[in-house]
Amino acid sequence: MMNVFQPCRRGGRAASLLVLIGALGLAACEGGTTSTGVPCPTAKAPVGGLDYKLGVGDRVKVTVIGQPELGSEAEVDAGGKLVIALAGEVLAVNHTVSEIQAEITQKLKSNILVDPRVSVQVSGYRPVTVLGQVRQPGRYPYSFGLDVRGATALAGGLERRASPERSVIFRPGQSCDAKPDTPLFPGDTVEVLRRGG
């Protein structure tokens, strides 16, 4: 039987390379997610305030000063929009609270009010998802200051095969290696890795 790692007359090196790539691919599939080699930032999540960018699952409370009947609460839907009483649909994903507040003010001004004073506040952040070597994988509410250790506790703690120091965080367009004290952002997905994974 020919050793595929020895070059043969024609295409031997290519065949060897394909076999090696296949073996690495299978090993990656069996092991699941591995470290990314990119450490996560240590800065806390920019939550709260007028500069916070909204995402699907965030909830906001809208108050119209002097018009309590126009106040409402809404969640950013799967289409990235908020539906606000008398203002209609407002595109919210990747827009700041300040931008949303200005747009709702403009819509109310053009529709029914002369000089509306609108306040928009985030009343609930999109949840985090915890996967991998935890006892109860799932989605959990985000709270200010939540880190990987806290999210792991929400998910029932670590499984026996879990690495207590290693996990990967997935964010839109980014994945990075996390430690227990790495801060989480709203909407993050955390995967706790196996020991040696």
Residue 15 has a pLDDT of: 39
Residue 3 has a pLDDT of: 42
Residue 197 has a pLDDT of: 53
The DSSP string of 7-51 is: --SSSHHHHHHHHHHHHHHHHHHHH-S---S-BPP-SPP--SSTT
Residue 180 has a pLDDT of: 96
Cα separation, 128 vs 151, in Å, equals 8
Instruction: Record the pTM.
Output: 0.76
Residue 17 has a pLDDT of: 33
What stretches in the chain show pLDDT beneath 50?
A: 1-31
Cα separation, 131 vs 36, in Å, equals 16
Q: Are 75 and 61 in contact (CB under 8 A)?
A: no
Query: DSSP letter at 54?
Result: P
Both structure tokens of 148: 């990987």
Residue 47 has a pLDDT of: 86
100: helix, coil or strand? helix
pLDDT digits (tens, 9 = 90+) for 58-107: 999 999 999 888 889 999 999 999 999 889 999 999 999 999 999 999 99
